[in-house]
Amino acid sequence: MDILNRAEIAPGVFLSRITDARFKQNRVSFCFLTRLGEETASVNAVVPKILTNSCRDYPDLRALNARLSALYAARLTASVANMGDDQCVMVEISVIDDRYALEGEAVLNEGINILLGCVFDPLTDENGFFKESVTEIEKQACIDQIEAELNEKRVYALNRAAEILCAGEPGAVRASGTVGGVRAVTPQTAFSAYKRLLETARTEIFCGGGNAFSGVGETLAAAFKGVRRGEIGECGSKYSPLKPEPVVRTEKMDVNQSKMVVGFKTASTDLDALTVMTKIYGGSAASKLFENVREKMSLCYYCMAKLQPLKGTVTAECGVETENMEKARAEIINQLDLIKNGDFTDGELAHARLSLQNDLKTVNDKLSGISLWYFVRIYQRDAVTPEQMAERYLAVTRERIIEAANSLSLDAVYILTEKDGGNE
């Protein structure tokens, strides 16, 4: 495997290439990174959708989709994601590797051409802005997506908890924007946001797959020649400060099962120790939360913990009967206290390390896994391989874990629960 051949091809634009003949597909992603803000998140969320609706070469969705379909299920996708205090605006194409084309077509080159057409040569109206009809359709798609967040109550609860934990910080803004914010988008504001992203956002381009991607660097560099890259916007995340007093927020809804997210914060920068600690706490089926809250107390079907390294938070979440909520909350806090007091066995520590090693070794087996791994590593300015990271976790001692646990303080609890009177 040829890993992470990374180069700056234009000011603030970095190209990374990962070649591995095992993969039968290739994927090229543009990730524009920009600071999250209530003013900009919604319009930025609409931009990639407009870009993947059509472009000058394929001037409507019909023409574009027909071409993609003929390219063996080429997938052109638009997405936005929260990345700590930043918004990641992504446009990506994935195609079958040329080796498997039934008629010997150059699928990758054609795929890259489509992607470049979408990113650099979008369809505009006579005034030079995005077309109004396309903007309106894609605004609606964004609104539907925001409203659909309610459909998965577990994800909804985690998102709400993140907003409460990071209230007042860029990281509290949802990358998908708000319904009101999206409604206010116009073809003009969307086009300005597009130009701003293209000209000033730090940009990470990832090429991954079975292909060697030779010549792709030159093609992409040439595409950026036509762009006036200005001052590159700052990006990077800060830990979320602890609230003076923990807050509890309860939301009522017509639900059968309550959801609870208990959020802790740390000021420790020992992320390796925090990672191992979170694994012991609630990161696997051998963890304390699974063992006790689920298996011993039979309170939940799921109860697990996750570290958000960019914001320095750890969340423990569960779905639980309303009448058992207090019992579950007490036990979630108790299990963390046990780790703080060093009440975990060498076996639990060994299991956590093994589980992390296993997770890390499987990263390389999926194209999406490798791309995401290096994207996050580069963002965190800690570009190590999964193997190197596994070594670091092995070096985490019991003392560092206890210290990491003791660095955590309760910051907020979010509860989604049934309306008064209960539900049947």
Partner 1 sequence: MNKEIIRNDRVNEQYTRVRHESGCTVCLCPMKGFSSAYALFGAKYGSVDGVFKTKSDAVFTAVPAGIAHYLEHKLFENEDCDAFKLYAETGAQANAYTSFDKTAYLFSCSQKFDRNLEILLKFVQEPYFTDATVQKERGIIAQEIKMYDDEPGWRVFFNGLEAVYHENPVRVNIAGTVESISKIDKDLLYRCYNTFYNLNNMVLSVAGNFDPDEALEICGRLLKPSPDLGLETVIPEEPPGVREKTVREKLPCGVPLFQVAFKMPNGYSFVGENYTHYNILLETAFGKSSKFYLDAYESGLINETFNVSVFNGRGFFLCVADGEAREPEKVFDALKNEIKRLKKEGLPEEDFNSVKKKTYGELVGSLASVEAVASGMMNAEFSGIENADMFSDIEAAANVAFSDITSKLAGFDEENSCVSIVEN
Residues that bind partner 1 (CB under 8 A): 20-25, 60-62, 65-66, 68-74, 96, 100, 102, 133, 137, 140-141, 144, 146-154, 253-257, 284-286, 290, 294-295, 298-302, 319-321, 347, 350-351, 353-359, 361-362, 364-367
> Angle at the Cα of 205 (from 16 to 40), degrees rounded to 5?
145
Instruction: Give 223 or 367: the residue with its C-beta nearer to partner 1.
Output: 367
Instruction: Give 222 or 301: the residue with its C-beta nearer to partner 1.
Output: 301
Residue 226 phi/psi, 5-degree rounding, is -80, 0
| Contacts of residue 118, Cβ cutoff 8 Å, sequence gap at least 6 | 51, 52, 55, 76, 91
AA identity, residue 379: Y
The H-or-E segment that residue 249 falls in is: strand 247-253
Structure tokens at 398: 């019991």
CB of 272 to partner 1, least distance (A): 17
CB of 90 to partner 1, least distance (A): 15
Q: Residue 35's closest CA among 92, 84, 91?
A: 84
| Contacts of residue 320, Cβ cutoff 8 Å, sequence gap at least 6 | 257, 258, 259, 260, 299, 300, 328
AA identity, residue 41: A
CB of 353 to partner 1, least distance (A): 8
Burial of 101 (C-beta count, 10 Å sphere; 0-12/13-18/19+): middle
Instruction: Give 84 or 111: the residue with its C-beta nearer to partner 1.
Output: 111
CB of 202 to partner 1, least distance (A): 28
Q: Residue 173's closest CA among 82, 92, 264?
A: 82
CB of 363 to partner 1, least distance (A): 8
- C-beta of residue 163 within 8 angstroms of C-beta of residue 234: no
Instruction: Give 225 or 419: the residue with its C-beta nearer to partner 1.
Output: 419
Whose tokens are 């090229």? That residue is 28
121, HSE (Cβ side, Cα atoms, 13 Å): 13
Residue 393 phi/psi, 5-degree rounding, is -65, -35
Instruction: Give 409 or 423: the residue with its C-beta nearer to partner 1.
Output: 423
Structure tokens at 325: 């909520």
Instruction: Give 70 or 81: the residue with its C-beta nearer to partner 1.
Output: 70
Instruction: Give 225 or 398: the residue with its C-beta nearer to partner 1.
Output: 398
Query: E strands along 20-128, which residues?
Result: 25-35, 75-83, 86-96
Strand partners for 304: 317
Instruction: Give 109 or 257: the residue with its C-beta nearer to partner 1.
Output: 257
CB of 212 to partner 1, least distance (A): 16
| Contacts of residue 76, Cβ cutoff 8 Å, sequence gap at least 6 | 52, 64, 68, 91, 92, 93, 114, 115, 118
Instruction: Give 20 or 57: the residue with its C-beta nearer to partner 1.
Output: 20
CB of 122 to partner 1, least distance (A): 17
- C-beta of residue 274 within 8 angstroms of C-beta of residue 268: yes
Give the neighbor-by-neighbor strand order of the sheet with 258-265: 247-253, 409-418, 258-265, 313-320, 300-308
CB of 76 to partner 1, least distance (A): 10
CB of 140 to partner 1, least distance (A): 6
Instruction: Give 39 or 103: the residue with its C-beta nearer to partner 1.
Output: 103
Instruction: Give 32 or 393: the residue with its C-beta nearer to partner 1.
Output: 393
